[in-house]
Amino acid sequence: MSELVASYERILLAKLKNNDQSAFTVIFTKYYSDLVRFSFGFTHNADISEEIVQEVFLKFWENRSLLDIHTSLKSFLLKNVQNRSIDSLRHTDITNKYISLVLGHAILSQNDTENYILYSELQTNLNHALDKIPIQYAEVFRMSRMEALKYQEIADKLAISVRTVEARLSKALGMLREELKDFLLLGLIIYQLFH
């Protein structure tokens, strides 16, 4: 990093610490697109990547008075985006395990009443979550995960492209992750009990 760039960044950060919103706008505008592309390399989901970068910038603004950056500003932001992207992947993995558990009848023995009650609660939570998200996303999720239809079969039934099916399913999973976040720990614990 050239001394000129480093000096410019120091000025921006000094202004930021003094609550200068224009300095924040300059930083946001300069790095936002690159950071979203960087996050996408981890998540492969444009919506989630944008959310991650927005969260990083929100935290960046909220903690502006405490900032103590020893690298370049871009390196600092990239590291934060990388960490959040990896956290998001872990979170998604837990959610997918939870959803698989809810839909995986085979893990429950026929006569195990206690396990059936736990399964029933998880199923109820998932159904409530599906009722809360837009119908076009819930419909694709149900067809894919509950009816076990292939993407092409869903596309044919709904008269949409396979790409649209993929996009809606991805959106549905993101919304369900948010709706089910309070139940993830329970879901993970039960998942681990049966695997």
pLDDT digits (tens, 9 = 90+) for 149-184: 888 999 999 999 989 998 898 888 888 777 776 665
pLDDT of residue 41: 85
Rounded Cα distance between 71 and 141, Å, is: 43
CATH 1.10.10.10 is right for the domain spanning 104-193? yes
For domain 3-90, give its CATH number from 3.10.450.50, 3.90.1150.10, 3.30.410.10, 1.10.1740.10.
1.10.1740.10
pTM of the model: 0.50
Write out residues in the chain with pLDDT < 70, as ranges: 1-6, 92-123, 181-195
Domain boundaries, the chain: 3-90, 104-193
